A = this chain, B = another copy of it.
Amino acid sequence: MREIHFTGGKTPPETFPYNELINAAERVIKELKDVFAYYPTQHKYADYSLKGYRPLREIASKRYWNREGVELPVDNIVITAGSMQAIELVGRTFIKPGDTVITEELTYYGTLEFFRYLGARIIGVKIDEKEGIIVDDLEEKLRILDSVGVKPKFIYVLPNNHNPTGARMPESNRIRLIDITKEYNIPIIEDDCYGDLDFIRDTKPKSILTLDKNRETIFIATFSKIIAPALRLGYFYAHEKYLNSILSHRWDIGTSLLASAIVAEYLKDNLWRQIERQIEAIKLRRDILLESLEEYMSKYATWTKPDGGLFIWVKLNVDVDMNRLEKKASEYGVYFDSGWKFHYRMKKLKAFRLSYAHVPPDEIREGVKRISNAVKDILKT
């Protein structure tokens, strides 16, 4: 039996532009040649700093300009080993053991695990599965914390195509979020990992960073979700106020020039084509997944219908123990990430996340069918 994995934040294997990257490698390795003998920190291509290969930072800026209509200053962009290293550097900058940070009640488990590793106290803010973080709840929680003398170090949010729910925060909520956090003088960490993957393009709200007049929001994004995770190429933007402080926590002497240069060479002429190709491959699967859920799961669950990203959040409305469901599903050869992983205090939830972008389209239906069979089996006993 072929195993079907609805796990991880993976991308469609067939959109990996391997021929184009081979050509890019040929051109750029020849062009850079002996530049590789220098440390990234000691050469003009790296802008004499830990910020990384400048042409790749220019592509990050171009992507932002196109989407937001304002510039993302290249000098404030830093290339990292995936967006996860950006989260790591920001976390290490702000969090000392015992410090309080705020996230959405449900969020990326890598972030939660890392903040826990740093010894942070995490406060989760309620979210709406369609519109993301509930600003009233944030306001209330900030007021309570303030009244007991606790100042959170930052709020970490995933406003676009949220992981795990797929929610997208409306612009009006983003503006309120900015106003409230300014009032309490709390920085915002905006993780825009999935911001490129919009199925509906004309309704894109502006990013929090763009709406933040002082541009003090720290903005994290990645090339992983439009090309492939194994490249390990992400980036962040930080205001001067934070930039050097964040960089002082970086000890790896920069991101691989080899990987950065090949990807920059490919993307400089193909950014939009690659994004389109990626969106198309992912949307195809999203549609199949929604149809399959309708067909097999409508008696047992409800689920989100995201306009972008890699994830669908499924909530069971029947009495099924999640541990048992996971075990039963694995007997059927199908895997998914259980809800508790995404909860800021690992609360048991009758919910799970389906990550579908890397699953072959002709296996999605079978995968959902197996899950529904696992549910049925449990309900029978």
Binding site for B on A (CB under 8 A): 7-16, 18-19, 21-22, 25-26, 29-30, 32-40, 42-43, 80-82, 84-85, 87-88, 110, 114, 117, 227-233, 248, 251-259, 262-263, 358
A232-B251 contact, Cβ under 8 Å, with A33-B18, A42-B10:
no
Q: Within 8 Å CB of A25, what residues of B?
A: 21-22, 25-26, 29, 262
Excluding A9-B39, A21-B258, 19 further A-B contacts by CB distance (< 8 Å) are A7-B42, A11-B37, A16-B34, A16-B36, A19-B30, A22-B29, A36-B228, A39-B229, A80-B252, A81-B252, A82-B252, A85-B251, A85-B252, A110-B253, A230-B258, A231-B257, A232-B257, A252-B252, A258-B259
Q: For A9, A11, A229, which residue has the most chain B Cβ atoms within 10 angstroms?
A: A229
Q: Within 8 Å CB of A231, what residues of B?
A: 36, 256-258
Main secondary structure on A side of the interface with B:
helix
CA distance A9 to B43 in the complex (A): 13
Q: For A43, A114, A228, A232, which residue has the most chain B Cβ atoms within 10 angstroms?
A: A232
CB pair A252 B13 closer than 8 Å = no
CA distance A7 to B259 in the complex (A): 25
A91 to B: closest C-beta gap in Å: 8
CB-contact partner of A81 in B22, B34, B256, under 8 A: B256
Q: Within 8 Å CB of A34, what residues of B?
A: 13-14, 16
A3 to B: closest C-beta gap in Å: 12
CB-contact partner of A29 in B13, B21, B43, B257, under 8 A: B21
